[in-house]
Amino acid sequence: MGTPAADVLKPDFAASRRHFIFTEEHDRLRESIHAFVTKELAPHAEEWEETTFPDSVFTRMGELGLLGLSYPEEYGGQGGDYFCNLVLAEEMVHSKSGGLAMGVAVHTDMATPPVHLFGTEEQKQRYLVPAIAGERISCLGITEPDAGSDVAGIRTHAVRDGDEWVINGAKTYITNGHRADFIVLVAKTDREAGHDGISLFLVDMDLPGVIREKRLEKLGMHASDTALLAFQDVRVPADALLGELGKGFYHIMWELQGERLIGAAGCVAAAQRSFDVTLRYAIERQAFGRSIGRFQVTRHKFAEMATHIEAARQLVYTTAWRFANGEYPVREISMAKLNAARVACDVTDECLQIHGGAGYMKEFGIERAWRDMRLNRIGAGTDEIMLDVIGRSYGL
């Protein structure tokens, strides 16, 4: 006798199943990060919009082991896998501050990964270990006033002088630039060699000639600090070179893949958070004698958003799984980043609309999510650059 049809076909609209990339350990990590973020960070979201978040957030996260989740224990890390970083990025959205989440992600998933992968043992001891402990804050300097998308077009250059390099140039839009103790700096070491003439340097931010110029004013991400930096005859020792001489372009392209995936995971989680907040609002808010969520048009908006969020999440997770297993799927990472950023912008826009006038008011937090999310279609590679990478991967 077969199984009764009713047992097989019972629909389940609310199944909550852990995605296959995560384990029970990730669940426990998620719970503990969630508790920390909601208790210690979220209550300050409004205040830090005005003041930017304090450096003590790094100290505290270092104490809790959250700045080195996937780094080896010998450097003070937790020895976890790449998915732990995804969990961190996802849970940081509950701080209700895109700027805070970004400042931390720049440190954990943008500036320190090249130190871990390409650094010498001495560089790891000097920069990675205190960064994981939350004692030294890092930033990443790629973008310049005259070159953003076109990384090979940068002008900042390092010239060898005996046992030293002399660095001149400027970097802009640098997250953590005002608070950072060191920068992973992208500079030209051979102006004639194109992509092969770029190298990475580890530069202490208190060296003579490093000038932290303007604190830049922005549309969103107000809790983060964004700097215009100048480098005037900055002398660094020969061993400040990070990775191979002339391979900096390829090193930074590798770094960008991890950065884009983490950013994409954050986008999906932020979209989900706005969705959840708005769902509660739509159930409570009454108009014309019913909750606004019961209008078919609103119901369909939620259905559209949920579908896009879920599709974006699956693409991010599957691509992260490939990346964590040693593949280098640039096309899919670009797709995941492009799609997640668009979904986050579309969803927060729709959520703001569903809130009506309340969505435009600061106290509901949706306008902040809307402003914060907009960066994701620009930072870490614009939509247009992602489309170009994807298009070129087909030989076009």
Ligand X SMILES: Cc1cc2nc3c(=O)[nH]c(=O)nc-3n(C[C@H](O)[C@H](O)[C@H](O)COP(=O)(O)OP(=O)(O)OC[C@H]3O[C@@H](n4cnc5c(N)ncnc54)[C@H](O)[C@@H]3O)c2cc1C
In the complex, least distance from residue 384 CB atom to ligand X, rounded to whole angstroms:
3
Q: Which is nearer to ligand X, 211 or 238 (CB)?
A: 211
Work out how close the CB of 227 gets to ligand X at its nearest, in angstroms, rounded to a whole number: 9
Q: Closer CB to ligand X, residue 274 or residue 376?
A: 376
State both tokens at 112. Answer: 């320190």
- Token reading at 113: 């990964």
Minimum Å gap between C-beta 344 and ligand X is: 15
- Which has the closest alpha carbon to 45: 175, 176, 215, 222? 222
Positive/negative CA dihedral, 183, 189, 192, 198: negative
Considering beta carbons, is residue 126 or 179 the nearer one to ligand X? 179
Q: How far is the CB of 181 from ligand X (least distance, A)?
A: 15
Q: Based on CB atoms, which residue is closest to ligand X, 54 or 153?
A: 153
Residue 49 annotated in active site: no
CB of 281 to ligand X, least distance (A): 28
If the CB atoms of residues 80 and 379 are measured against ligand X, the closer one turns out to be: 379
Q: Are 91 and 63 a contacting pair, CB within 8 Å?
A: no
Closer to ligand X at the Cβ: 91 or 109? 109
Residue ranges that bind ligand X, judged by CB under 6 A: 106, 139-143, 148-149, 173-175, 218, 221, 226, 375, 378-382, 384-385, 388
Of the pair 143, 348, the CB lying nearest ligand X is at 143
**Which residue number places its CB atom closest to ligand X?**
148
Please state the closest distance from residue 172 (CB atom) to ligand X, in A.
7
Q: CA-based angle 197:262:101, to the nearest 5?
A: 105
Using CA atoms, how far residue 277 sits from 51, 253, 311, in Å, is: 25, 36, 20
Residue with Cβ nearer ligand X (243 or 381) = 381
Write 362-371 long-range contacts (CB < 8 A, 24+): 362/46, 364/281, 365/45, 365/96, 365/277, 366/274, 366/277, 366/278, 368/45, 368/49, 368/96, 368/97, 368/98, 368/220, 369/98, 369/270, 369/273, 369/274, 370/220, 370/345, 371/98, 371/219, 371/220, 371/221
Active-site residue among 91, 259, 332, 367?
259
Residue with tokens 């950072």: 180
CB 178 within 8 A of CB 252: no
Q: Residue 376 CB, nearest distance to ligand X (Å)?
A: 10
Just list the catalytic residues: 259
